[in-house]
Amino acid sequence: MQQQAGEFGIEEARRALAEVFAPWVLDLNLSIDAFDYTPPAGAVDWQPGAILRMPFSERLCRNGGTVSGQALMAFADTAMVIANLAANKGYRPMTTVDQTTHFMRAVSASDVLADARVVRLGRTMSFGRVTLLSATDNRPVAMVSSAFAMLGA
């Protein structure tokens, strides 16, 4: 995907989600609910990022009917890429360097939300956090911290 001239917003982020990820990631059926690339007036601790949704599917569940950790980790990683698009105000090739996931509770029969925020964006590295939440009760499911290497110019 090549970035177009002009402002980079949620529609461009949705296009990137559809075009730059592996086909199996697209099978997660993710959507972008919010895309925050400009700080609101008067914001002090604002961080660029995005909120994504992973709809519940039996295909994502492990034995016992809970959403598998593998699906949650792939979701968090993908959400952080989209958050990086917000921080960079456009697409930039990148790769995951590190991801640490702390699972807090199981989630079943519920969509999962990912609130992904870029904590620090440097020239060659990005550091972020993702909070995974059950869409049913908005309670945390997992906390994820990650680092990405920015590739190319």
Question: What does CATH list as the number for 10-37+47-150?
Answer: 3.10.129.10
pLDDT at 140: 97
Helices 69-88 and 10-19 meet at what angle, rounded to 10?
130
Q: Cα–Cα distance between 101 and 81 in angstroms, integer?
A: 16
pLDDT at 43: 82
Q: What is the pTM of this model?
A: 0.92
Segments of the chain with pLDDT less than 50: 1-5
* Cβ count near 63 (within 10 Å): 6
Q: Cα–Cα distance between 22 and 37 in angstroms, integer?
A: 24
**Cβ distance 61 to 67 under 8 Å?**
yes
**pLDDT tens readout for residues 116-140:** 999 999 999 999 999 999 999 999 9
Helix (H) or strand (E) holding 34: strand 31-36
Could you tell me where the DSSP H helices lie in 6-151? Answer: 10-19, 23-26, 69-88
pLDDT at 44: 86
**Lateral strand order in the sheet of 31-36:** 31-36, 49-54, 112-121, 125-134, 140-150, 94-103
pLDDT at 4: 43
